[in-house]
Amino acid sequence: MEADWRDRILFPFLGIISFTTLLYLNFSDQLSFPVLWQPKMAFVGTNSTHFVVAEDDHGGNYSEIYVNGWNSYWLMEKSIWVSSRSKVSKMLRMGAQMGLTVCRTWAFSDGYGSSALQTSPGVFNERVFRALDYVIVEARKNKLRLILSLVNNLNAFGGKTQYVRWAEEAGVNVSQTDDSFFSHPTVKDYYKAYIKAILTRKNSLTGVKYSEDPAIFAWELINEPRCLSNSSAPVLQAWITEMAAYVKSLDDKHLLTVGIEGFYGPKTTERSKVNPGEWAASLGSDFIQNSAVDNIDFASVHAYPDSWIQKGDSEAKMNFLSRWVDSHISDGEHVLKKPVLITEFGSSLRMNKTPEDTNLLLKTVYDRVYESAKKREAGAGALIWQLLVEGVDEYADQFSLVAWDHPSIYKLITRQSCRLRRIFFSGKTTKGLHNEDPC
């Protein structure tokens, strides 16, 4: 009887396990195992100058939320290969453990090579697309939301330069400057096709379209757009208006932002005094004008006093940073009537004389956001640039850090998570908003 049991049940079972293991080890990067259950989440919306999220399935009651989050632009690329996916999972898990709720990352990689998502206009590497699928699934697993940026103004990961190069290679007569990305019909069509492919993508792990997934907090049109060939920037303004309308025609459930750094243009003379230097008004972007477009749901701001004011001492940088954040919050509150999210801010451990200088600059941003939250003003949150885990040093820059290797910064981040939560969720359930509780 015992031998008969082994022959009929145990040995075939062991054979199946062995075969499955062999299949996984050899072809795991090409396999997609379906996700049968995901945490419930609600889409984030806006109510005037606030982000809001539904408290129940009926959508009758909404809570205001103020964001404490971070940037890790490398998540998709590290998810391409199964051997490095654990780094992505750890980063998202550790973010949740710090009470963070939103991560901003790249949903683009344009060009050539095994890590490119878009290898030519409208042609995609399915393996890399599945990597982005994985990032979205892991974010939702940890009850986090993602801001997904759709193209880079810079050359890294292809950017607008790659789009213009593709047009040139196709024999299209484009201008010598990369700013034709914002104006040439062919290049704009390339970008629209990319937007459509992303927004209509059905996740290979869940079967859920990206446009239907509440784990996506918002889309970002472009990372740090600049239009240097036209200082008054009507071309960039027209591009934002056109592309924002196109995104909303495909997806009206998710929020949308531009991705600008927050510089004031030459037409806003009074506010341009807040800029870190005269150079900032000549970059072709304008915080007020760009953010006022109807289909843009919230304004974005970046803040890097260490690199923008290199000759200033710590006090000068802190004074600038306070004015910079307060000015944009005020504009969101009184002019734009929209939330303002600081989607990148950082301080360099290398450039500052002491770790305390770095902490003070980070604390300045957190304190301004906290004060805004207490007053229910438009300063809707901040995302630190950028967090890493061990073993992803190739993505490091002077503003990057492994937070738990710097206890004082780790404490600053978690403290911000906790005090924001205390304002808005005192006596309420936070189910569906947070995975871990550092408070």
Mean pLDDT of 308-315: 89
Nearest to 182 by CA among 243, 132, 139: 243
User: Hey, is 183 helix, strand or coil?
Assistant: coil
pLDDT confidence bin for 24, thresholds 50/70/90: very low
- Calpha distance 186→298 (Å, rounded): 28
Tell me, yes or no, if 224 is annotated catalytic. Answer: yes
* Residue 152 CA from chain centroid, whole number: 12
Query: Are 140 and 92 within 8 A, CB to CB?
Result: no
Question: Could you tell me what percent of the chain has a pLDDT over 70?
Answer: 87
Two tokens, residue 32: 């997609």
What is the structure's pLDDT at 428?
52
Residue 69: which of 366, 402, 426 has the closest Cα?
366
The secondary structure of residue 37, as a DSSP letter, is: -
* The predicted structure's pLDDT at residue 61: 80
pLDDT tens-place string over residues 120-154? 999 999 999 999 999 999 999 999 999 999 999 99
Give the residue from 428, 427, 405, 403 showing the smallest Cα distance to 415: 403
pLDDT tens sequence across 330-363? 999 999 999 999 999 999 988 877 889 999 999 9
DSSP state of 211: G
Give tens-digit pLDDT for 381-419.
999 999 999 999 999 999 999 999 999 999 999 999 999
Task: Quickly tell me which residue has 């109807």 as its tokens.
Answer: 294
Q: Which residue has the tokens 């403290």?
A: 415
- Measured from the Cβ of residue 45, the count of other Cβ atoms closer than 10 Å reads 16
Helix (H) / strand (E) containing 160? helix 159-169
Determine which one of 138, 220, 224, 377 is catalytic: 224
pLDDT value, residue 7:
55
The percent of residues above 90 in pLDDT, for the chain, comes to 78
Q: Choosing from 77, 138, 220, 344, which is the catalytic residue?
A: 344
Longest CA–CA separation in the chain, Å: 91
The dihedrals phi and psi of 227, each to the nearest 5 degrees, come to -130, 80
Neighbours of 411 (CB within 10 A): 14
Query: Which value, to the nearest 10 degrees, does the dihedral of the CA atoms of residues 139, 140, 141, 143 take?
Result: 90
Most confident of 36-45, 187-196, 279-288, 305-314: 187-196
Residue-averaged pLDDT of the chain: 90
Provide DSSP, 339-363. -EEEEEE---TTTSSSHHHHHHHHH
Owner of token pair 């239907």: 212
Q: pLDDT tier at 438 (50, 70, 90 boundaries)?
A: confident
Q: Among 406, 362, 407, 288, which residue's Cα sits nearest to residue 70?
A: 362
Which residues contact residue 327 at a Cβ distance below 8 angstroms, ignoring those fewer than 6 apart? 271, 274
Q: What DSSP string describes 411-431?
A: HHHHHHHHHHHHHHHTTS--T
pTM for this entry: 0.90
> Amino acid identity, residue 21?
T
Q: In this structure, what token pair is assigned to residue 202?
A: 């059905």
**Banded pLDDT at 230 (limits 50, 70, 90):** low
